[in-house]
Structure 1
């Protein structure tokens, strides 16, 4: 069942050409990294919108298989001498069986250190991903995005979080998945937060809303030392979208 719709910028299907060596230079410069954003290039201007569906039921097994296949593609392109140090994880709502949400899969690519190597960056670029921006909460959580062009997820977007070991954002993603899949209170708390947040006016308010309404996420932020000022986060995200 589809519960509601959100407005999102109109996606452009032509990704910008990016160079692994130049991106790594950006990742090494904290100020350049925090200011880097391809939202307008990827999503178009603010007047172009399209609807995204929020589903009460998602095809969990199909999405799980799809994410696993994408992981195999990415890892096959990582230099042989680096493969033992990287790990692919399915995270986000689509990694939690029975959790409602959008058909936007998320994955986590864990690397030994920051910044990631040119070889790992190139593996993502060669699989069709483009670096969009770093997370507002942790600049070492790098967001690479990919528009899915065929199959049951055609037209939807996949995000890979490229992050080093023990990254705050990565740890929260992993704990959220594992606790929701193993503890009923955590599942019900996060589900309730997402459904309530789905009433938001737009996708940004939805994402901020589910983070603010979930006791599970609040607990995990404290556990991992994440400090969040929601008004400042919203302001930073809006700046990225301008």
Structure 2
């Protein structure tokens, strides 16, 4: 079955075509068990935690990734999707990892083969779904140059009204506009980084210690 990749999922064989991935997304049981990760640049570690994330520079990177992806789509796909910068790097002043997150909102699940091909054409691969939401697909790309060289960008692909997508957007917007929310999430992240010995521990710890995330999970009845 291969090397363990955390969360008790074995490493899967990488799928390289839109057809293979489309068929995987149509099979809920197989999709649940699928996990692939490019380990060529090593696994993220707590040493990547940054108190002063270069917000404007990362914003430009994510916008370029958006434009490159949309350039691969023809109509009607291009007008049916929406790309959002989410996660810690989308919140000015928020500490975190130098690994941008984006959200691609699609009209319905699964994404079309053209939408999938758009990721493959730009060097992304499909890694896995969220453990708590099988319709939250995670695509990854490792940067080959620039100040984010060897870091990864993650793109969540979700249908409209998906709970995980709503949580990501509302967390970003609330942290941008409400000081209590910003402070709550910031403190949860710093605490998780100090108390965790590895990246996975940090990821789980920040979610458990945030009142904001607890509130959003209860509101949207799901997410991650």
Regarding TM over 0.5, the answer is yes
Task: Choose the corresponding residue for 1:24, options 22, 33, 49.
Answer: 22
Aligned to 1:177: 172
Find out whether 1:211 has 2:207 as its counterpart: yes
Deviating 4+ runs (over 3 angstroms): 48-52
**Counterparts of residues 161-200 of structure 1 (less than 5 Å):** 161-199=156-194, 200=196
Distance 2:69 2:51 in 1: 30
> CA 1:181 to 1:227, structure 2 compared with 1: closer, same or farther past 3 Å?
closer
The answer to whether the Cα contact below 8 Å between 2:24 and 2:31 also exists between their aligned partners in 1 is: yes
Partners in 2 of 1:226 and 1:88 — Cα distance?
Answer: 21
- Out of 64, 78, 87, the residue aligned to residue 82 of structure 2 is 87
Give 1:49 deviation, angstroms: 5.8
CA RMSD of aligned residues (A): 1.9
Give 1:132's match in structure 2, choosing from 114, 127, 138.
127
Partners in 2 of 1:151 and 1:16 — Cα distance?
26
Shift of 1:83: 1.0
| Structure 1: 5+ residue stretches without partners | 1-7, 10-14, 229-242
In structure 2, relative to structure 1, the CA distance for the partners of 1:50 and 1:97 (3 Å cut) is: closer
Residues of 2 paired with 1:49 and 1:105: CA distance? Answer: 15
CA distance in structure 2 between the aligned counterparts of 1:212 and 1:202, rounded to whole angstroms: 16
Alpha-carbon offset, residue 50 of structure 1: 6.7
Alpha-carbon offset, residue 80 of structure 1: 2.1
Match of 1:221 among 207, 212, 217: 217
Looking at structure 2, the residues matched to 79 and 162 of structure 1 have their Cα atoms a distance apart, in angstroms, of 18
Q: Is 2:44–2:199's contact at 8 Å kept on the other side of the alignment?
A: no
What residue in structure 1 maps to residue 39 of structure 2? Answer: 43
Matches within 5 A, 1:107-126: 107-126=102-121
TM-score, scaled relative to structure 2: 0.90
Q: Find the aligned partners of 2:115 and 2:166 in 1 and give their Cα distance.
A: 20
1:211 to 1:50, Cα distance in 2 relative to 1, 3 A:
closer
Q: What residue in structure 2 maps to residue 54 of structure 1? A: 49
Contact 1:79 1:120 in 2 (8 A): no
Aligned length: 211
Q: Distance in 2 between matches of 1:67 and 1:191?
A: 21
Pairing 1:66–2:53 present? no
Measure the CA separation in 2 of the matches of 1:203 and 1:195: 13
Distance 1:227 1:84 in 2: 26
